[in-house]
Amino acid sequence: MGIIKRFYFVTSYLLSYSIMLFSSTAGNKCKLIKIDTQNIAMVFTVGKDSSLFFDYFGPSIDDASPFFKKQSYRRDDYGTDPLVYPVMGGRNFKQPALSAIHADGGLNTELMCVSIDKCVVDSGNVDRYLILLKDRKNPFYVELILESFYKENVITEKVKICHNESAPIVLRDFYSGYLPIRANKYYLNSFSGGWGMEMKLEETLLTHGLKRIESRKEVRATQAENPSFMLSLDVPLSENYGHVIGGALAWSGNFALNFELDEFNILNIIGGINSYSSEYTLEPNQEFYTPEMIFTYSTRGAGDITRNLHDWARNHLVYDSKSIRPIVLNSWEGTYFNYDEKVIKRMIDDSKALGVDFFVLDDGWFGNVYPRNNSKEGLGDWVVNKQKLPSGLTGLASYAHRRGMKFGIWIEPEMLNPDSELAHMHPDWIVQEKGRPLTTIRDQLLLDLTNPDVQDFVFSVFDYVMKQSPYISYIKWDANRHVESAGSLYLPTNKQSYFWIEYVRGLYSVYGRIREKYPNVIIEACASGGGRVDYGVLRYHQAFWTSDNTDPRSRIFIQYGTNMIYPALATDAHVSISPNHQTNNQTPLKFRFDVAMSACLGIEFQPNQMTEKDLAFSEKAIKEYRKIQPIVLFGDLYRTLSPYDNHGYSSLMYVSKDKREAVLFVYCFEFQGRNILPRLKLNGLDCGLKYRIEELNVDSSVFWGNGSVFSGQYLTNEGISPKLQRCYDSAVFLIKSVE
């Protein structure tokens, strides 16, 4: 599709003198802007007074000229037509995307369009639109930066704010993106939860007023709510039918997504950094960038939203997204803090026998003055505990290497125990407000990442660990508390409210330095489980630890929610012991494997506590996983049965991009009596191809057609009904084209 079609310059537009003053390119002549991807479009028009109106977001519209004609019928007297970036001031009375106190104390901002530029970032796929807006009165500017991803049907938006007023201005709201949506009913699907129960899907029929999804915890920001959503228009969310909008924010601190249903029945969606307690003073000529909101649209239900987001994330965002992820054995649930060198060496040997790629040593390896033998002391003192591990990380990593195993290590560099050498050396580095007592969570305090010295320290922790051995190539980066009694001894007294934003910027700056020096190391993001499940961290991390809850029954729900937005490629899922340490639930080993194999499989049990039979099963399952891993990590996700549909089954499948291979997972997590079997109509296959079905992880199959060849058409229209009736029955099928 040519440039003309994808970016309309419908007519020449005589810009007002103030616009002319700031215009410099041909782009500013346009009156209608149409941003297209393969299947969706966004349309803006410049009004008579140079206001930039938001006309449309939805499925493609080839001929956008009616939007242009519609201009003359705007009700200028009301001033209520949605703007592309609605701010506090003038006639806007809804939740603003931006509010500022100007140098002269004025509270109002009214933006007019100054110029519009387009550049091609990646020919044929990624275009960038820079739309410069200026306040009508003050030299105050907002630049909207939109990027369209043609193949993935995603449009991202962020803004740059700057000014040239006579004195500093104060920013009070500074959101990244806005969507006005018109439908008859709005079903918001968002994710709530807590520790061990992250990403629980909730659907809410929105009524008039404001519904807000947010975090004010800064760290572990995504455990209770997630900065992402699916909005189903007119009807409740369904997998394959209906118009749905998807959105997510790439930010790892306080966030807010506002859904305001107004008196005109327009749903106003505004998302970005949470302005909670975060007033930000902007000096003249200083630039303030927001993170990106990511938007997509589907006319075929939730499934396409997921696939769009996964494709976009794998092609444009997730760190090192083209690499297969390793299978790790993590020591945490196997040993917790109770180990010594002998135990770890034996675990490394046992990991090798199981056939995993990495052994990852979790918490408990450091601290001498304050040995880290429990959560109460030692955090912050990143020197190996010589008593526990006399040969150090260097010795252990070499040991692993000699046995053909890769080695990884756990760190939590943003945090410290009050009982640590670090706390005594640098009390001023701790997040706090002078004169108020320090409060601990999980016995620990938080370092003030707004402080460049702390940033250097956090970098040095990573650097130090990496320097212990050339054989360390995996880091699990944990963060086990959130912010309370926010405050910084580094920031000046009049800039304390910068804390929330500067913390995340400090974190990203450290990540940036680490990535420059260590581009190849695998870094898993963790924050008490799923406290950092967001598209901000995935720019730097290969994956996140999805939840501390490793019970497969819980994981069916946690992974279902997580993978609605985030790809399996980034979703770590480990097999642990039964009864489960978090839930006390008992499940068969096969069920645990079958659930973990639908994401990035790992192990989190102590092999020497397993029976020979279980070890043999595990070893085989790990081999089987390697057969399906590329399909799971890089394929298209189709959800075939939702665990939320109250039938006690859950099922999903991944289909390779060329549709020649697929893997189907099905889980029974409630007793089904005698008569019920799951009916699975497969999705995403090529109806013109023939496929052989092979059940994995079993001796005798639960499907009568195991080993047989079926047409894609049969599997799609008739489907299969594997015999799964008892609680915790499960099956994994590899489906391969025979042509």
Structure letter (DSSP) for residue 315: I
Residues in binding contact with ligand DGJ, number by CB under 6 A: 11
Residue position matching structure tokens 């920001």: 221
- Candidate list 365, 399, 410, 557; residue touching ligand DGJ; CB under 6 A: 410
Cα–Cα dist 731/591, whole Å: 8
Q: Is 548 an annotated catalytic residue?
A: yes
Q: Say if residues 650 and 640 touch (Cβ distance below 8 Å).
A: no
The residue from 362, 478, 636, 686 that is catalytic is: 478
The strand pair at 406-411 and 472-477 is best described as: parallel
Which span sits near ligand DGJ by CB under 6 A: 205-213, 383-391, 523-531, 658-666? Answer: 523-531
Question: Is the four-CA dihedral 89, 162, 46, 62 of positive or negative sign?
Answer: negative
Largest CA distance in the chain: 82
Provide, rounded to whole angstroms, the least separation between the CB of residue 336 and ligand DGJ.
8
Q: Which of residues 156-185 bind ligand DGJ (CB under 6 A)?
A: none
Judged by beta carbon, residue 175 or residue 410, the one nearer ligand DGJ is 410
User: 529, 567, 602, 607: which one contacts ligand DGJ (CB under 6 A)?
Assistant: 529
User: Which one of the listed residues 448, 548, 572, 636 is annotated catalytic?
Assistant: 548
The reply to whether 135 sits near ligand DGJ by the rule CB under 6 A is no
Tokens of 250: 């790439």
Task: Give the binding range for ligand DGJ (CB under 6 A) out of 432-440, 458-466, 508-516, 524-532.
Answer: 524-532
- Side-chain-side CA neighbours of residue 605 (13 Å): 22
Known catalytic membership, residue 122: no
Task: Say how far apart CA 707 and CA 463 lie, in whole Å.
Answer: 51
Give the shortest CB-364-to-ligand DGJ separation in angstroms.
Answer: 8
Distance CA 693, CA 707 (A): 5
Identify which range of 71-79, 509-517, 521-529, 694-702 contacts ligand DGJ by CB under 6 A: 521-529
Query: CB of residue 479 vs ligand DGJ: minimum separation in angstroms?
Result: 9
**Which residues are within 8 A (CB) of 21 and not within 5 positions of it... i.e. 6 or more apart?**
none
Which three-class secondary structure state does DSSP give residue 550? coil
- 250 neighbors 158 (Cβ within 8 angstroms): no
Q: Does 358 bind ligand DGJ (CB under 6 A)?
A: no
Q: Quick check: 198 binds ligand DGJ (CB under 6 A)? A: no
From 81, 110, 363, 419, residue interacting with ligand DGJ (rule: CB under 6 A): 363
* Spatial CA neighbour of 48 closest among 23, 27, 74, 66: 74
Beta bridge partners of 696: 732
**Binding flag, residue 461, ligand DGJ (CB under 6 A):** no
List 528, 562, 598, 606, residue binding ligand DGJ (CB under 6 A):
528
Name the phi and psi angles at 307, rounded to 5. -65, -35
What is the closest distance, in whole angstroms, from the C-beta atom of residue 337 to ligand DGJ in the complex?
A: 8
We find the least distance from the C-beta atom of residue 134 to ligand DGJ, in angstroms, to be 47
Q: Which of residues 333 and 661 has its CB atom nearest to ligand DGJ in the complex?
A: 333
Helices 552-565 and 301-312: angle between axes, nearest 10 degrees: 80
Residue from 35, 526, 653, 668 binding ligand DGJ (CB under 6 A): 526
Lookup: tokens for 361 = 């040593």
Assess 362 for contact with ligand DGJ (CB under 6 A): yes
Assess contact for 280 and 497: CB atoms under 8 A: yes
CB-nearer residue toward ligand DGJ: 415 or 501 = 415
| Contact set for ligand DGJ, span 533-592 (CB under 6 A) | 545, 548
Q: Which residues bind ligand DGJ (CB under 6 A)?
A: 332, 362-363, 410, 478, 480, 526, 528-529, 545, 548
Q: Which residues are catalytic?
A: 478, 548
